[in-house]
Structure 1
């Protein structure tokens, strides 16, 4: 589902649609708070770092998880990622194996992350955490789950798109939020805003004293020269336009850009159409790493990816926060 435009309105002028839907948004926020108040969260004996968000949709959680895998590994940890495997069919818990699992089974994001470290998928987060610990994890990175009270968290990082902020400040369906901003920030230990310098400067949310780190997605230097390349770009991520903008900044000439729904499945009809259009336009098919994980192997060689990685400004303060939550083993 594509997010409605009024979700991005400023909080002081959310639009008539948001005002009409406000009672439903208030109910959604109340239900989230009620769920969070249930029971005592479980502990599985190792620190848990949650990478979540207050907004729905893509804010940069997957690149953040990959960055954390690298940082925690440098600290001497054996970090394992746990995920519900959105879009996958496996019940789990199961350790993701890129050699035998597909995105249909385990989800596209876990499959992508598994190229960088150990990943476990399961619908029951507590059972999945237990399996990861038994599998050798010294620290767990929880991909999403900020609003899930089942597992105790030692550090909660809220990721937000610096350009969009918290949208119109309303909960679903009146706005893009899973819960009111002030309620979510009370449980957060760090806010990571992701965007370029202009977006970071414009990000004006009141974080209530929660520390803020700044990050930006930067293309990985692979030796590929994009300058002047004619491309047909397609992306089924939270904000496809960010991908298209990155391609243009690299010098690519986008002759057609197709924005798909987040996690949209690639059927034979769509893939045949994209291939035919690229051929007619004399253009190269290009997509994101996450989208490539969902492509059938028989089609993947026809598509080039533009890999990007998270660059965190002033990494040392963030590392200090990590070390306090998850001391080196």
Structure 2
């Protein structure tokens, strides 16, 4: 079941309509049946000949998966691995056609998040609705470990490590399954994951027991029509148009406000496909947007348009624990 373009308010507060509760019960029954078929091995889980790490979440919408996948790839490479990214490439044209994605790929064909990952990391990125086929293609291309950006619910590909990413502010919303709430699976599913990462953003949120805090740090602004980045603090005390087509646009707006930037907010649906008209706001204020939005606006960007990249920071103890687990998966010489 797919999520609506913008989450209903009742996912997080207020009364849930009766028809949404009914559909949620039917959806929950379908999930339970599917899991039972996997447990009975009537549906197969397929193991590829390399370790697989899945970075995902339980709710529909963003939680910080992609920034974590990016830094995970960087850490794996620093530890001597040659990682590749397997992804569905949500919202791309020709979604049924497998595709290699690089920094020059049209986001309409490769998906906004895969193109962003390719631009930031330079690793092999394979977009394919069939995660098993994507993982096999990466292995054939020389990757010795596969990272799935999203995919907790894609059980056909057997995985070695699961990382659940949770939005620290919204958590699991009202705790209901789609479409009555934001959950793709029951919240208890997260207990079976190997690591739970809490995206605390710039909020004063404390991670609970068994949760690893992740902070998304933004301190630069990259001109879309230029080369040299500038400090985000250069916009302090100024008004800007802020553009966000992500799962939780308010998180981006609050990040800018935390730098004393006066925000004129423009929220679009997650994975929105921009046209030049979308960025014409009737004034010549600077336009700041997320990296995910920026990759779709390069063709018509001007000197007023900037992306604000974020980097994920986690405790060093998290990386020690994770990389120890990964090292144990390396084949014996």
1:181 maps to which of 184, 187, 190:
187
**SS in structure 1 at match of 2:265:** strand
Write the distance in 2 (CA, Å) between the matches of 1:56 and 1:102: 25
1:77 aligns with 2:81: yes
Q: Shift in Å at residue 87 of structure 1?
A: 1.4
1:151 maps to which of 157, 160, 175:
157
8 Å CA contact retained: 2:276, 2:300: no
1:306 maps to which of 305, 308, 311:
308
1:93 maps to which of 82, 94, 98:
98
Q: Shift in Å at residue 169 of structure 1?
A: 0.5
Instruction: Report the aligned-residue RMSD.
Output: 2.1
1:235 aligns with 2:239: no
1:194 maps to which of 191, 199, 222:
199
**SS in structure 1 at match of 2:311:** strand
State the TM-score, normalized to the length of structure 2. 0.86
| CA separation of 1:230 and 1:16: change in aligned 2, threshold 3 A | closer
**SS in structure 2 at match of 1:200:** coil
8 Å CA contact retained: 2:245, 2:270: yes
Deviations 1:169-223 (A, max 9, x none): 00011111001111x124311111101475523x66xx8xxx3211111114454
| CA separation of 1:296 and 1:197: change in aligned 2, threshold 3 A | closer
Instruction: For structure 2, list consecutive stretches of 5 or more residues without a partner in the other structure.
Output: 221-228
8 Å CA contact retained: 1:50, 1:156: yes
For residues 309-328 of structure 1, the aligned pairs below 5 Å read: 309-312=311-314, 314-327=315-328
8 Å CA contact retained: 1:232, 1:285: yes
Q: Shift in Å at residue 19 of structure 1?
A: 5.9
Q: Shift in Å at residue 322 of structure 1?
A: 3.4
Write the distance in 1 (CA, Å) between the matches of 2:148 and 2:45: 14
1:3 aligns with 2:7: yes
State the TM-score, normalized to the length of structure 1. 0.87
Write the distance in 2 (CA, Å) between the matches of 1:92 and 1:150: 19
Instruction: For structure 1, list consecutive stretches of 5 or more residues without a partner in the other structure.
Output: 10-14
Write the distance in 2 (CA, Å) between the matches of 1:153 and 1:278: 50
8 Å CA contact retained: 1:58, 1:237: yes
**SS in structure 2 at match of 1:322:** helix
**SS in structure 2 at match of 1:294:** coil
Deviations 1:253-311 (A, max 9, x none): 22x2111100111134324x33xx232xxx11111100001114232654111111111
| CA separation of 1:301 and 1:223: change in aligned 2, threshold 3 A | closer
**Which deviates further from its counterpart, 47-56 or 317-326?**
317-326
What is residue 248 of structure 1 aligned with on the other side? Answer: 257
Deviations 1:68-94 (A, max 9, x none): 111111111001111011111244433
**SS in structure 1 at match of 2:86:** strand
Write the distance in 2 (CA, Å) between the matches of 1:199 and 1:131: 42
What is residue 270 of structure 1 aligned with on the other side? Answer: 278
What number of residue pairs does the alignment pair up? 308
Deviations 1:5-34 (A, max 9, x none): 22113xxxxx43256632321221222233
Write the distance in 2 (CA, Å) between the matches of 1:200 and 1:18: 31
What is residue 170 of structure 2 aligned with on the other side? Answer: 164
What is residue 294 of structure 2 aligned with on the other side? Answer: 292
1:124 maps to which of 130, 149, 153:
130
8 Å CA contact retained: 1:287, 1:304: yes
8 Å CA contact retained: 1:24, 1:174: yes
**Which deviates further from its counterpart, 316-325 or 168-177?**
316-325
Q: Give every structure 1 segment of 4 or more consecutive aligned residues whose post-TM-superposition deviation is greater than 6 Å.
A: none
**SS in structure 2 at match of 1:278:** coil
8 Å CA contact retained: 2:115, 2:295: yes
